[in-house]
């Protein structure tokens, strides 16, 4: 006698315990199976020559498809899609001090996909990266993830070409997921924007298209040491790679760390309300800019774009242009032989949930030039004055070139000592290991985009700058 | 020669590996060191006799300190604190279907603390629980966490007595943190409400006040099988206890599960905008209720409260009163000997971030009585028709009695088979182990309050109903 039963489905291990070591092996590979690291600059330059790019500043009146909406003065596209530039009114009370400000903000509610396809060659994981023009990039062409698609992109609002390799990120039969998490973007410039950060490992062969190349994590680590090469979308996705070699110990247990984070989130009372762009006190509309009365923060500007390698050949759009370069830095110290970085629970008006962990220092120094003494942002002067012998990592990176024009920051990891950066730091700051940070990045709303850039610049095997 | 160096700080293990086993041991203890389980009902009844409680329905005009705000018709307190009753306009597009509705909603932006203090007696962890009156509880007096304090409570807006034991949750020297996480509350009734769910282990002796008792997790498990004894605040905090005995395997790896959740969150487009209460189509204001035209969902009502054991002796307030009891159930199946529950990625208008994981079924059946066939909510009829032999857990619990009047639901865990609840469930549903659910509850915005109630009713050692 036989009993008819359904076949027992195979269970999977909750965690892929082999994956972190494979990623660490890729991070240790300074050369790849396809493109030699030494040939990368020539390859990128050739891709630039193969495509025609041109970006010109234009007055708002010359924008095609964009206009100031009646009543609000918000900058909107005639399709109702893409994004809008609106106003934001933020009040923030941290329990001891209340502040309030108005600013322009980009509202782009739709969730895009930023995805890196990975695949083993010669037993080493390689990432499929793309040479991609974005109008706001200082050098136009940078290295982007395999896929960088807004929902408008892949639902064809702009009537452009298909997004290459998108099927690997939407069809589970084509690839196995390594990481997939919604991450916030710049809370000072975006209203509650998040993108889906995905890493998937291809099943089977992958066709190689023009403008794409396979690179190991070690090669990408090398390129991350160069200025303005690896774009922000690549950096935030790379930050989602699980770390390896966790020593398992830290100054604070994970439960203590989450408790501190919960207390920080509860301590800050943030109310962010969208208001008409035309109503913002301290901001004025000109022919070519919306700018702050004291010349601080950023301008809203307009550009005309001509491109040969993008989905459509010509378009115009608004961009945010910071008035000066920023600086974003982690202070770092070893405790008991384990590297820690000093995270800052930051309020940014556009965050969905109050605070996220940012670098120790994240400022545009020019905006604070008028402040003195204890009014100066904590640790900023320490970072600005750090000598070469203290700087473990340094490079200039640009923020998302599709929305931000020349939004460059100097990213640093700086050694600190017990006097400058004590074990028991000021309220809002906490020592955390790169492995703890890497665990938190697997979930939404914990780590901001600048801290994720710095995390991407750490070696996922050692937790130290590459 | 000696070198002056700072002492090396002690590192901690990232996870307290001994804790889950200690919790499982407490869960296995059916009797405690202080109060016998068999004496609990008498103890609670005695606490009820020792305090005087009276709740009367009153017309809105008889509310003291509360009124309908001019212009909006929102219900507000003259202090500007506590909470307001406003209107909400929700549009929801899941990619295939668009829906839209208006409803009253409670807005209470301040974050409260729900905390359970634990301590070992005779080597077994006990929870300090409180017999507490809430005006909306069906039997008024239920078992609450050690501390249940809004920020108004502990900043004395109501000029009442101190919150007992609060210092254990605010002073890290008094207790060691077990769990501390912001959790959402009812997304259908609250606008983006979250509370801090805390479990802390006391350092040193703890004074025992009137109305408080020490109970093991096993005793609480027994009381969770009784109707209307353990209040919602207790249940959500108990759900944050880490589970033990993880088999380490599941139908889906954690990375796959997070990827599915990320996809669900991205798929649903939810816009929830606050509107004036007076402007809601389909809702009408009477002398004693704000109610839905078809008599569905809930009424807003007003009550007068007299109490001897609360911080202030008499007050009045609005409450939400559902029109009928609800049902909340997990379908459960074993795969490869490992228990799984069928989670549902639910949209609720008041959630901060689109969807959270809810039970398989979470409905007020009366609201769907007019629907037939495929319009019926998935799995609802299966749960309503389940025979005794399929029901692994069943009890009636009330939602938060400080805001909701007689808001009772039948909570169930129901065995399902491969035909009723297939391995590959409909979109929006996913099989997940209790250990995976328990991991997610350590982070915000993943698991809704009804699923947390059901999680609290599972044994943290076996993952099965106690």
Question: In terms of C-beta density within 10 A (0-12 exposed, 13-18 middle, 19 or more buried), how is residue A215 classed?
Answer: buried
Alpha carbon distance A121, A128 (integer Å): 12
Among A10, A110, A254, the residue with its CB nearest the CB of B14 is A254
For β-strands B194-202 and B113-121, DSSP reports them as: parallel
pLDDT tens digit string along A332-376? 999 999 999 999 999 999 999 999 999 999 999 888 888 898 889
Is residue B9 situated within a structural domain? no
What's the pLDDT band for A466 if we cut at 50, 70, 90? confident
Is residue B7 situated within a structural domain? no
Residues of B in contact with A443 (CB under 8 A): 258, 443
CB atoms B109 and A269 under 8 Å: yes
Residues of A in contact with B258 (CB under 8 A): 180-181, 442-443
Domain count, chain A: 1
Residue A68, min C-alpha distance to chain B (Å): 23
**pLDDT given at position B56:** 97
Please name the residues in contact with A373: beta carbons below 8 A apart, sequence gap of 6 or more. Answer: none
Which residues of chain B are under the pLDDT cut of 50? 1-3
Alpha carbon distance A418, A423 (integer Å): 7
| CA B212 to each of CA A103, B34, B57: distance values in angstroms, whole numbers, following the listed order | 50, 11, 29
**pLDDT given at position B411:** 98
Would you give the distance in Å from CA B190 to the centre of its chain?
Answer: 12
Is residue A7 situated within a structural domain? no
Residue A231 has pLDDT above 60, yes or no: yes
Among A12, A110, A266, the residue with its CB nearest the CB of B250 is A12
Would you give the distance in Å from CA A292 to the centre of its chain?
Answer: 25
Residues of A in contact with B20 (CB under 8 A): none
**pLDDT given at position B172:** 87
Residues of B in contact with A177 (CB under 8 A): 255-256, 259
Is residue A85 situated within a structural domain? yes
Alpha carbon distance A94, A250 (integer Å): 27
**pLDDT given at position B293:** 95
Phi, psi (deg, nearest 5) at residue B173: -75, -20
**pLDDT given at position B153:** 66
What's the pLDDT band for A5 if we cut at 50, 70, 90? low
Is residue A260 situated within a structural domain? yes
Residues A399, A407: contact at Cβ < 8 Å? yes
> In which element (H, E) is residue B221 found?
helix B217-223
> In which element (H, E) is residue B184 found?
strand B175-184
Is the torsion defined by CA of A185, A189, A190, A191 positive or negative? positive
Strands of B94-174 (E only): list them: 98-107, 113-121, 124-133, 141-144, 147-149
**pLDDT given at position B2:** 44
Q: What does A356-399 look like in DSSP terms, one character per residue?
A: EEE-SEEE-GGGGTT--GGGSPTTHHHHHT--GGGEEEEEEEE-
Phi, psi (deg, nearest 5) at residue A444: -75, 160
**pLDDT given at position B162:** 80
Alpha carbon distance B137, B401 (integer Å): 5
Q: Which of B10, B255, B338, B463 has the highest number of chain A CBs within 10 A, making it the mutation to test binding with A? A: B255
Q: Which domain holds residue B298?
A: 18-466
Q: Which residue on chain A is closest to B252 by alpha carbon? A: A12
Residue A4 has pLDDT above 80, yes or no: no
Among B11, B249, B266, the residue with its CB nearest the CB of A338 is B11
Residues of B in contact with A255 (CB under 8 A): 15-16, 177-180
Residues of A in contact with B177 (CB under 8 A): 255-256, 259
**pLDDT given at position B155:** 60
CB atoms A16 and B255 under 8 Å: yes
pLDDT tens digit string along A14-38? 999 999 999 999 999 999 999 999 9
pLDDT tens digit string along A275-329? 999 999 999 999 999 999 999 999 999 999 998 755 568 999 999 999 999 999 9
Among B263, B266, B336, the residue with its CB nearest the CB of A11 is B336
Is residue B13 situated within a structural domain? no
Residues of A in contact with B250 (CB under 8 A): 11-12, 14
Phi, psi (deg, nearest 5) at residue B41: -60, -40
Residue A162 vs residue B443, higher pLDDT? B443
The DSSP symbol for B404 reads B
Q: Which residue on chain B is closest to A246 by alpha carbon? A: B14
| CA A204 to each of CA A171, A174, B219: distance values in angstroms, whole numbers, following the listed order | 14, 8, 54
pLDDT tens digit string along A55-71? 999 999 999 999 999 99
pLDDT tens digit string along A172-199? 899 999 999 999 999 999 999 999 999 9
Residues of A in contact with B237 (CB under 8 A): none
Count of pairs with CB atoms under 8 A, one residue in A, one in B: 137
Residue B276, min C-alpha distance to chain A (Å): 16
| CA A406 to each of CA A64, A275, B41, B385, B412: distance values in angstroms, whole numbers, following the listed order | 22, 27, 69, 63, 57
pLDDT tens digit string along B394-441? 999 999 999 999 999 999 999 999 999 999 999 999 999 999 999 999
CATH of the domain at A451: 3.90.79.40
Is residue A6 situated within a structural domain? no
The DSSP symbol for A337 reads T
Is residue A2 situated within a structural domain? no
Residues B74, B105: contact at Cβ < 8 Å? no
Among B16, B180, B271, the residue with its CB nearest the CB of A262 is B180
For β-strands A326-335 and A361-363, DSSP reports them as: antiparallel
Alpha carbon distance A335, A250 (integer Å): 8
Would you give the distance in Å from CA A38 to the centre of its chain?
Answer: 26
Average confidence (pLDDT) over A102-123: 96
Among A177, A252, A336, the residue with its CB nearest the CB of B256 is A177
Q: What does A240-263 look like in DSSP terms, one character per residue?
A: TSPP----SEESS-HHHHHHHHHH
């Amino acid at each position: 006698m036989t009993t008819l039963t359904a076949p027992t489905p195979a269970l999977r291990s909750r965690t892929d315990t082999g994956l972190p070591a494979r990623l660490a092996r890729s991070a240790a590979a300074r050369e790849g199976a396809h493109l030699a690291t030494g040939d990368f600059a020539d390859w990128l330059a050739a891709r630039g020559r193969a495509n025609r790019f041109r970006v010109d500043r234009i007055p708002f009146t010359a924008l095609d498809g964009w206009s100031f909406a009646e009543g609000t003065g918000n900058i909107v596209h005639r399709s109702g899609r893409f994004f809008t530039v609106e106003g934001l009114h933020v009040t923030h009370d941290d329990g001891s001090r209340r502040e309030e400000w108005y600013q322009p903000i980009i509202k782009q509610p739709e969730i895009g996909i930023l995805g890196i396809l990975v695949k083993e060659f010669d037993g080493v994981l390689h990432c499929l990266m793309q040479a991609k023009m974005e109008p706001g990039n200082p050098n136009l062409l940078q290295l982007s993830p395999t896929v960088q698609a807004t929902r408008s992109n892949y639902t064809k609002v702009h009537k452009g070409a298909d997004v290459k390799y998108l099927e690997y990120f939407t069809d589970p039969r084509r690839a196995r997921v390594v990481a997939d998490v919604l991450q916030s973007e710049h809370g000072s410039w975006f209203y509650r924007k998040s993108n889906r950060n995905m890493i998937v490992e291809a099943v089977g062969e992958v066709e190689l298209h023009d403008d794409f190349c396979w690179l190991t994590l070690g090669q990408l680590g090398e390129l991350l040491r160069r200025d303005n090469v690896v774009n922000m979308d690549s950096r935030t996705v790379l930050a989602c790679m699980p770390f390896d070699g966790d020593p398992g110990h830290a100054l604070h247990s994970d439960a203590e760390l989450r408790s501190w984070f919960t207390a920080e989130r509860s301590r800050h009372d943030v109310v962010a309300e969208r208001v008409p762009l035309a109503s913002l006190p301290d901001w004025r509309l000109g022919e070519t800019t919306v700018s702050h009365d004291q010349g601080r923060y950023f301008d809203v500007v307009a550009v005309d774009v001509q491109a040969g390698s993008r989905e459509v050949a010509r378009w115009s759009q608004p961009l945010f242009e910071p008035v000066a370069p920023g600086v974003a830095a982690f202070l770092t110290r070893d405790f008991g032989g384990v590297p820690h970085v000093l995270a800052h629970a930051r309020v940014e008006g556009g965050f969905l949930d109050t605070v996220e962990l940012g670098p120790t220092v994240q400022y545009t120094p020019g905006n604070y030039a008028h402040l003195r003494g204890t009014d100066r942002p904590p640790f900023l002067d320490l970072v600005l004055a750090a000598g070469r012998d203290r700087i473990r990592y340094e490079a200039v990176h640009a923020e998302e070139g599709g929305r931000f024009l020349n939004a460059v920051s100097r990213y640093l990891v700086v050694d600190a000592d017990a006097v400058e950066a004590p074990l028991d730091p000021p309220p809002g700051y906490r020592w955390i290991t790169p492995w703890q940070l890497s665990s938190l990045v697997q979930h939404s709303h914990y780590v901001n985009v600048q801290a994720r850039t710095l995390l991407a610049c750490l070696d996922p095997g050692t937790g130290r700058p590459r």
